[in-house]
Amino acid sequence: MSIVDDILQLKKERNAIILAHNYQRGEVQDIADYVGDSFGLSQKAVQAGAEVIVFCGVDFMAESAAILNPDKTVLLPTPGAGCPMARMITPFDVQSLRLDHPDAEVVCYVNSSAAVKAMSDVCCTSSNAVKVVDSCRSDRVIFVPDKNLAAYVQLHTTKQIYPWHGYCPTHEIITEGDVLLAKMDHPGAEVIVHPECRPEVVAIADGVFSTDGMLKYAKTTSKDLIIGTEMGIIHRLQKENPGRNFFPISQFVVCPNMKMNSLETVRDSLKDMRTRIRVPEDIRIKAKRALDRMLEVGR
Ligand code: SF4
């Protein structure tokens, strides 16, 4: 039996569903029941009828699934798969920001720990960050942890944003020079980038989208596209748009944490039912409030 057959067999035996982020390895995306961005994956986690959710992503994503599904077993195939940006802020930092800006609401990008979500009023993803900020009652918003997404939101809202200084190391390495060089290498192609990129990169891109936004946009244009986000998404872009050209903005835009899951770790995860992600109940209840409010706002 092949490793894929093993996974399908184990999935059936365990009554499991496999969710994979758009940045996962191609072969992991291919065995998933659903591939998507953080917002879509959160929705699927809520809707999942299965008893076990195997979350192929990084730890904060599996935590969110566990927060939303206390009665299900949520497994992260590779326990060390974490997000450096999520580790750039602590609950204590959020508390300090609240003291500095007592009349502001706290909007927390889902790329954060359960404990930070629990200290926040509402979560957002890159696909609904502007909508979530605009839905806040206060005209002042503390936005954590991503300074680049905060800067992007500030361009599209009249509310005053107080950003934290976190960032995604994978997107931060993309420079204006990469945009200009890629345009020279592929004349006629459009550059689309993720809002986790630096503001100066966002300013000269032809479009700014979440990963699912990029997938939707690709279907509306016949142009070649230069992709300014983690390279894993190119697998899905090519699969859904055969014969089209999608070029990575640079060969270095790879998130090592997203690449830690493999077919082997997915199989072993289902076989040994590890690694189970658990969130302490007091934190889970508070974090769920912030995630539920985000899901109510929608995409
Ligand atoms: S791509 Fe960036 S934000 Fe996403 S998991 Fe990797 S480090 Fe974190």
Tens of pLDDT, residues 16-26: 999 999 999 99
Spatial neighbors of 124 by CB under 8 A, at least 6 apart, are: 107, 108, 109, 110, 131, 132, 133, 294, 297
Distance (Å) from CA 191 to ligand 1 centroid? 20
pLDDT at 142: 98
Residue ranges in the chain whose pLDDT is less than 70: none
Predicted TM-score (pTM) of the model is: 0.96
Distance 85 CA to ligand 1 centre (A): 7
pLDDT in the model for residue 299: 76
Ligand 1 atom index nearest CA of 23 = 1
CA 255 to centroid of ligand 1, rounded, Å: 6
Q: How high is the pLDDT of residue 239?
A: 97
Q: Which ligand 1 atom minimizes the distance to the CA of 255?
A: 6
The SS3 call for residue 35 is strand
The dihedral built from the CA positions of residue 177, 170, 222 and 152, taken in this order, carries a sign that is: negative
Residue 94: how many other CB atoms lie within 10 Å: 23
